Amino acid sequence: MNQIYFEGYLRILTLKQLRPKSIREKLWRVYTFLIYTEFKETSQESIRCHRCGTINAHDSMFCKTCFQTMTDLAAKQINTMHQTVINNLDAITSLTEKEKAKIAADASEAKS
């Protein structure tokens, strides 16, 4: 159970009447909630970039300053993207050349 949810639950329990009976009843409700609940720490440690030393959020995949990968998953994703580009380099170059030719053709038509 998250500590934030518990705090919200406590806010919902209003103590409009400060009579001993109502307070006791509400405390018993909270007590039973506490007995069967395991709290998890909501704040997690920040991650320090090993390249530049910047402190990043605990769930960061990349450093916010130098864009170094902070997790193994991010490194794998970058390697996969690089491999995809390398494998498709001929197709990318061909598309780029076609696009350049199209732009040049459109520019020459606009001049005439």
Encoding tokens for residue 98?
């076609």
Task: Examine residue 102 and state whether it is found in any structural domain, yes or no.
Answer: yes
Statement to judge: residues 105 and 67 lie in one domain: yes
Q: Which of 11-15, 77-81, 108-112 has the lowest mean pLDDT?
A: 11-15
Q: How many domains does the chain have?
A: 2
The predicted pLDDT at position 85 comes to 86
Statement to judge: residues 51 and 31 lie in one domain: no
Examine the pLDDT at 17 and tell me if it is beyond 80.
Answer: no
Domain that holds residue 31: 3-35
Average pLDDT in the 13-40 region? 63
CA-to-CA separations, 82 to 20, 60, 87, in angstroms, rounded: 68, 21, 9
51 versus 32: the higher-pLDDT residue is: 51
Q: How far apart are CA 90 and CA 58, in angstroms?
A: 39
| 53 contacts 65 by C-beta, under 8 angstroms | no
| 23 contacts 30 by C-beta, under 8 angstroms | no
Residues 6 or more apart in contact with residue 96 via CB below 8 angstroms: none
Statement to judge: residues 27 and 51 lie in one domain: no
Average pLDDT in the 32-56 region? 75
Task: Examine residue 104 and state whether it is found in any structural domain, yes or no.
Answer: yes
Task: Examine residue 100 and state whether it is found in any structural domain, yes or no.
Answer: yes
The predicted pLDDT at position 101 comes to 92
pTM of the model: 0.42
Statement to judge: residues 52 and 106 lie in one domain: yes
| 37 contacts 6 by C-beta, under 8 angstroms | yes
Average pLDDT in the 85-99 region? 88
The predicted pLDDT at position 16 comes to 47
Statement to judge: residues 82 and 58 lie in one domain: yes
Task: Examine residue 56 and state whether it is found in any structural domain, yes or no.
Answer: yes
